[in-house]
Structure 1
Amino acid sequence: MVEAVRLRRARARKDAGRTLVEGPHLLADLVRFGVPIDRIFALPDDAASATLAADARTELVVVDESVLRKVADTDNPRGPVTVIPIPTSARHHGSVVVLWDIADPGNAGTVIRTAAAFGFGVVMASNSVDVWSP
């Protein structure tokens, strides 16, 4: 649990090679696409997350709202919060979009999703936003 709270900081994410993913839809996508999951933090009444944890054969940590608030990035989290390994870089053969000096996470996300929709790879410059920030 302490490790998950630390993952809210960029340095801790980089050192651990892990990040946090928040929300039921993102958890469902992680399981559907077979992304490795370390553990899931969920509220006691979150049956959907319990089912997804079983499907993914991963640890489900049941926590109360005060604990979930410490792990989550939002002010009023509804959960779940999932810990996953940060994917390693993959080689992309074809066109790529280079993100340079991007400061807004929303802008980075929009460009990444658009690039993926058109089959482009994405290269992030180190002077850009931390795309693994929860």
Structure 2
Amino acid sequence: MKMTVAPWTAQFTTLLSLRAPLLPFGFITPPQAVLPPGAIAEYSITFPGFEESQMRISHFTLVFWDSSKSAPPGWRGMRRLLLDDLTGDTSARARDIKRKGVQVASAFRFVTETRTASVWFRTDVMRSMMEGGGGRCISEDGYLGEGRRGV
């Protein structure tokens, strides 16, 4: 199975930037990979009500979708869109969306009582997603959330 890592690049560089100063060793990285602290912010996303069975899910993935590129495929089509192999979508449109129109975050905090997820993310990526008319956040189960920038 072959899968692109482009949708996860922003999260990888965010996590590297936050944790690199704490590590007892260094990294050889391209200049854009490690960001200054001011280039990272916490974002909060509040979701509508979940079904009771979904309240106990211990993990899921946030997908930030730039809706100016295209409409989200729905949660069933998301996996096919992200795959690059023969079972995935290999069209030019899908390649463009994977490179520029979707960001995936799996390291975040979720508060069940308020149905709010908060994630630290690169401000440049979030700004471009929001300016493009996008900024939709989709949970693994297909719920759309409303986002806002936090601290």
Shorter chain as normaliser: what TM range?
under 0.3
**Structure number having the greater helix percentage:** 1
Which is bigger in relative contact order (C-alpha 8 A, separation at least 6)?
2
If the length of structure 1 is used for normalisation, what is the TM-score?
0.27
Q: TM-score, normalised by structure 2?
A: 0.25
